Amino acid sequence: MPSALITGASRGLGAAIAQEIESTHHILLGGRDAAALHPLVDHLPDAEPWVADLTDFDAVTAAAESIDELSVLVHNAGRATIGRVDSTPLSEWKTMFDLNLFAAVHLTQQLLPALRKAGGHVVFINSGAGLRVNEQWSAYAASKFALKAFADGLRVEEPGLRVTSIFPGRIDTDMQRSIVACEGQEYDPDRFLKPATVARAVGHAIRTPEDAHPTDVILRPFNK
């Protein structure tokens, strides 16, 4: 059975992606907290934890050594905080770039031999903020614009791999609740995409027949 590594898999969208593709893949559930991964490991018949703090590059390098062949790599882990340019400290910009961009670059570099061996598929969970910038979203959007550039470059340089960027609108997750609280608004989950909906789009991209290359998928909430 082909294998898939999903980062940020302990909850939210990452957990939903794992459940979406678990019938066709052996799942490596990526996360920095082993205890947080165990409920999903126990729920899925063919899954195991892959524990590493993605911003600890030495730890990631060591953890990647155990992966000899990999069919799918889903970069889902990320961080989003909002604030104006004049009030967002440089340290917060760095924190977001470290996880949203540099961690994805480093993990991809470490797993390229395993992905090449499988003729694999790399999926980047980007954001609508990776295509446009709204007020107070400059730092996060900058990290996601950069992630898109990395994905586009990887696609050009690795013709033996499929590389897909998913650009969802805002998703009903714990992170979204924190963002809405910062915006001073009341949380209404019906305003946002369901994690299972975005996970299904990821699954469709992965299951696309091999004669096609799904490069960019854009999803927006459909608020009737």
Q: Please state the domain extents for the chain.
A: 3-207
> Is residue 66 within 8 Å of 115, Cβ to Cβ?
no
The two three-digit tokens of residue 72, written as one number: 């799918």
Q: Three-class SS of residue 163? A: strand
Angle at 162 between CA 161 and CA 168, to 5 degrees: 145
Query: For the chain, how many helices (H) and strands (E)?
Result: 8, 7
| pLDDT at residue 184 in the model | 67
3-state secondary structure of 89: coil
pLDDT, tens only, 21-30: 999 999 999 9
Nearest in space to 26 (alpha carbons), one of 8, 11, 41, 10: 41
Per-residue pLDDT, averaged over 6-28, amounts to 96
Task: Just list the catalytic residues.
Answer: 140
Average pLDDT of the chain is 93
CATH match of 3-207 with 3.40.50.720 = yes
Q: pTM for the full model? A: 0.94
**Each residue of 59-75: pLDDT tens digit?**
999 999 999 999 999 99
